[in-house]
Structure 1
Amino acid sequence: MEQNKHSELAAVSTVPLMMTLGNSMFIPVLPMMGKILHVSPFQSSLLITVYSVVAIVLIPIAGYLSDRYGRKKIMIPSLIIAGVGGLVSGLAAVLLGDRSYALILAGRFLQGVGAAGAAPIVLPLVGDMFKKGSDVSSGLGIVETSNTFGKVLSPIIGSLLTMIAWYAVFLAIPVFCAVSVLLLAFLLKVPQQQGKRVTFHAFYESVSPLFKQKGRWLFAIFLIGAIGMFELFGLLFYLSEMLEERYGFDGIVKGSLLAVPLSVLCLASYITGKAIGENKPLMKWLTVSGLLLLCLALVGLSWFNARALWGFFGFVAAGGLGIGVALPCLDALITEGIEKEQRGTVSSIYSSMRFVGVAAGPPLVSLALDWTAGALFYSLAAISLLGVATAVVAIKPKNGRQTARQRLP
């Protein structure tokens, strides 16, 4: 990797880190917030979902705008909007207390608008920054590690902030966003390839054949990305509820326990990103292996749900390992298989589908809390198995030293 790119990559990596902190740190505190705001588990889960739903809609638009006007010009204003959204939620909680639920949701909606134009643009930006495919894969691995490291820190930081005040998690968001804005403003140089302005009609004419030619494997990766995040956030929500309601863990203890499987996911993402290089077949089979491991872990969770806590955590960690192996491979397949001019839009659709998983996981699992453990975890395992089958059938990279366009037909 080029030496002068390290500081730029560090600045870019703060975006998924800060955006993840601004969302995932609510996971351990949702039960407490539900009690304070006098809402049901489903309603409290909407604090995660509303953020993700609005991002799902706006991410493809942000991707197109980043292809046309440049990544940095879209990312920085988006981070500012996300910070304002956090401020709205925080001030609503401070001023209205337990009557602030509706305004908190409105602030989370605004934060989702900002998130749509920030974190998803990181993937194509990393693709723009490096010329060698191995450097792109390594950079994407670091970005995915930053994302997952944010998930590791989130339950701990969220628990610590609530020791100050239950609404402190909202007021921390503008601070996180300000850090990323300053680092991007001073450290990130706009890659020369950016800024080429194309009309929407001309852009559509170039993208339409792309999906006709490569739609099979692209849509497969979109679906698998959604499945991975659905399983992850659904499991985290379930684990948070179980630790508090069944075992009586809360605060920093619960946050630290939630960080254990996420640490495994983070380490797996980093190692995988370093290992895959430009080997597309390896990316495919690591994706298949990761999803299969997740499936087996979910089956194991149905057995250990009411037994020893250590066994339950072991299976959750195994599931995190599987997701951590799959995600960097999906990132690399998307980024390295698409030309720079269309990379922002295509990778943003992929990010949008990941947000679909984030949005669906907590509320759907909350509705299934009354199910038996077998019914819940076997259902989740079946969804993971769908991802395995999709990867095997639809992702067919060719081996050899070919161009990205040739390797992924």
Structure 2
Amino acid sequence: MENPKSLEGGQKWAISLFTIGVFMAALDNGIISAALTTINSSFGVSPSWGSWGITLYTLGLSVSVPIVGKLSDRYGRKKLFMIEVGLFGLGSLLVALSQSFPMFLISRLVQALGGGGIFIIGSSHILATLPKEKQGKALGLLGAMNGMAAVLGPNIGSFLLDWSGSWHWLFLINLPIAVLLVIFGGLFIIETKASEAKRLDFLGSLILSLSILSVMYGITNLDGAKLLSSITELNVYGFMVLGLGLFALLLWYEKRVEIRGGDPILAYSLLQNKVFQWTLVIGFLSGGLLAAVIFIPSYVEQYLGVSAAKAGYWMTPLALASGVGAWLGGAFTDKKGPVKTTLLSGIISMIGFGLFPLWVTEKWEFVIASMIAGAGFGFLLGAPLNVLVSEAADVNKGTALGTLSLVRQVGLTLAPAFYAGFITAGFDRVGDEVSSRLSDSGFSSKDIPIPDISSGQPASFQEQLQHIPVPEVRHAITEAIHVSVGSGFSHLYASAAVISFFVIISISLLAFYRRKSC
């Protein structure tokens, strides 16, 4: 019989390896965003084509997550972790060695198929091996790394690009980490899998993959500046309708598989569980909260006047707070349960995001508000939702966690297009606001060259302002721009506060159905 201390030490090693793996995989999309312009130039492609480096990675993550969750239940989490890390490392090497843009895109897809399942496998392993009273802290640690990597990615990417002078090192740096994770994973992670192993649902996996690809592709074609009109475009609504139709077909097929006693990729009975349904709703909302963070650099640059070169560093307080929040959320889940933790998360997030439109006008106020918001959504990143879906799923933990991660990714992909509409509306107000303020100051906008702010780049119109000789006019235009841009961001973060309120409503309904089912 093994020594309990030896088992405990092995678990610490395993959790550490999963944590490093999660950080490595989650960091990648943020890192590449810092070097996207450089990569596009090296391959000679337009920004619209270059964005496919991120889009394909997102699509690959979305497809791989639920399938890897099921495979880990069937074939073993240790085995799938090593395969996933190896695949991610291979993809990273292929990206770095790519001599053409098509090869680059294929390599990014390989990376995504490898990185997508690491968080799910680690979470499933923790839920399968740790006692319930210790699961929250461990899941919170994984969530902290997941959230911090997503937020810090652009800063780390900029640092590596400045240090190395080559975008290839952004991917080559993954190789030694992946090799060490595979080696130590083989040595220290114990194998776990679901108690029953049935035939894998290949047709269901194919339908699910095509459904996800269609919906996510449609979402990525949304234009935040023209959100309503872009929805009517065939490459948006056409693919989304196709994806939803495939999902309806999947539900019909999976119900038949379950009735026959098979092992569906997405259990129909699980989707009928009210607790599981509302957990997925909260997971989708949490993706929306995380997406609001993407606009922090633009906010501090365009509203608070921070230089573009330093804007990314102002995400650091929020990133650190989200990491601490995820860890505290895990500890709170262990002590008070996932429902109270999620409720507290919604309240803190609503306060933090609400402070942006209601209070923030100075940099120090921004730091306080962003830390509160970061701590709030950090609570959701790791433990409470994972615990809730695992309780609802019983033995199919990998499937449930994969589904939760998928809907969070959908929320994270859809929300930026929604938020960008507010930013665009703010810039659209500038002309009217300038005319109004000039009129109040006794000047006519017809006689004064108003800066072109259509690009949304503060540096360009600040330069134009310097050529206006009258100080009163410069001040009026500056104030108009500040107020108009601020209104766009105010609506954005007010929406994030509303999403937090919906988290509170959703967890209250979940608690009702949870008590009812007991």
The reply to whether TM is greater than 0.5 is yes
1: CA distance between counterparts of 2:317 and 2:38?
A: 21
The reply on whether 1:275 has 2:332 as its aligned counterpart is yes
The reply on whether 1:248 has 2:364 as its aligned counterpart is no
1:161-194: per-residue Cα shift (whole Å, max 9, x none)?
Answer: 1112351323333344333323312211213x55
1:277 aligned counterpart, secondary structure: helix
2:172 aligns with: 171
Structure showing greater radius of gyration is 2
1: CA distance between counterparts of 2:372 and 2:13?
A: 33
The reply on whether 1:290 has 2:345 as its aligned counterpart is yes
The reply on whether 1:387 has 2:441 as its aligned counterpart is no
User: Structure 1 183/38 Cα, relative in aligned 2: closer, same or farther at 3 Å?
Assistant: same
1: CA distance between counterparts of 2:54 and 2:373?
A: 21
User: Structure 1 162/408 Cα, relative in aligned 2: closer, same or farther at 3 Å?
Assistant: farther
1:204 aligned counterpart, secondary structure: coil
1:65-112: per-residue Cα shift (whole Å, max 9, x none)?
Answer: 1111111222222222222333333333xx46xxx4x65444332222
User: Structure 1 206/408 Cα, relative in aligned 2: closer, same or farther at 3 Å?
Assistant: farther
2:428 aligns with: none
2:19 aligns with: 13
Aligned residue runs from structure 1 range 330-349, under 5 A: 330-339=385-394, 341-349=395-403
**Kept after mapping to 1: 8 A contact 2:285/2:503:** yes
* AA aligned opposite 1:158: G
Aligned residue runs from structure 1 range 144-293, under 5 A: 144-151=143-150, 153-163=152-162, 164-167=164-167, 168-191=169-192, 193-194=193-194, 196-200=196-200, 201=257, 202-204=262-264, 207-212=267-272, 215-232=273-290, 234-243=291-300, 247-250=306-309, 253-277=310-334, 279-280=336-337, 283-293=338-348
User: Structure 1 343/301 Cα, relative in aligned 2: closer, same or farther at 3 Å?
Assistant: same
2:491 aligns with: 375
1: CA distance between counterparts of 2:64 and 2:141?
A: 25
1:318 aligns with: 372
The reply on whether 1:3 has 2:58 as its aligned counterpart is no
2: CA distance between counterparts of 1:335 and 1:52?
A: 24
How far off its partner does 1:348 sit?
Answer: 1.0
1:287-326: per-residue Cα shift (whole Å, max 9, x none)?
Answer: 1221232233323223467x32232232222111111123
1: CA distance between counterparts of 2:354 and 2:265?
A: 46
Instruction: Give RMSD over aligned pairs.
Output: 3.2
**Kept after mapping to 1: 8 A contact 2:357/2:494:** yes
User: Structure 1 255/180 Cα, relative in aligned 2: closer, same or farther at 3 Å?
Assistant: farther
* AA aligned opposite 2:8: Q
How far off its partner does 1:149 sit?
Answer: 4.2
**Kept after mapping to 1: 8 A contact 2:155/2:313:** yes
**Kept after mapping to 2: 8 A contact 1:368/1:376:** yes
1:402 aligns with: none
1:369 aligned counterpart, secondary structure: helix
1:8-46: per-residue Cα shift (whole Å, max 9, x none)?
Answer: 221222221211222233455557767887755x77665
User: Structure 1 368/185 Cα, relative in aligned 2: closer, same or farther at 3 Å?
Assistant: farther
**Kept after mapping to 1: 8 A contact 2:275/2:514:** no
**Runs (5+) with no aligned partner, structure 1:** 400-406
2: CA distance between counterparts of 1:223 and 1:51?
A: 24
User: Structure 1 180/197 Cα, relative in aligned 2: closer, same or farther at 3 Å?
Assistant: same
**Kept after mapping to 2: 8 A contact 1:31/1:241:** no
**Aligned-pair identity (%):** 19
1:370 aligned counterpart, secondary structure: helix
1:363-387: per-residue Cα shift (whole Å, max 9, x none)?
Answer: 5544553232233223333333222
1: CA distance between counterparts of 2:265 and 2:154?
A: 45
User: Structure 1 43/279 Cα, relative in aligned 2: closer, same or farther at 3 Å?
Assistant: farther
How far off its partner does 1:265 sit?
Answer: 0.7
Given the alignment, which residue of 58, 80, 84 partners 1:78?
Answer: 84
**Kept after mapping to 2: 8 A contact 1:136/1:336:** no
**Runs (5+) with no aligned partner, structure 2:** 201-256, 426-487
The reply on whether 1:107 has 2:107 as its aligned counterpart is yes
* AA aligned opposite 1:261: L
Would you say how many aligned residue pairs link Structure 1 and Structure 2?
Answer: 384
**Kept after mapping to 2: 8 A contact 1:83/1:173:** yes
* AA aligned opposite 1:309: K
1: CA distance between counterparts of 2:502 and 2:401?
A: 22
* AA aligned opposite 1:374: S
User: Structure 1 296/138 Cα, relative in aligned 2: closer, same or farther at 3 Å?
Assistant: closer
User: Structure 1 175/184 Cα, relative in aligned 2: closer, same or farther at 3 Å?
Assistant: same
How far off its partner does 1:123 sit?
Answer: 1.2
* AA aligned opposite 2:178: C
How far off its partner does 1:205 sit?
Answer: 11
1:325-344: per-residue Cα shift (whole Å, max 9, x none)?
Answer: 233211222234432x3111
2: CA distance between counterparts of 1:248 and 1:346?
A: 43
* AA aligned opposite 1:220: W
* AA aligned opposite 1:248: S
2:357 aligns with: 302
2:444 aligns with: none
* AA aligned opposite 2:117: G
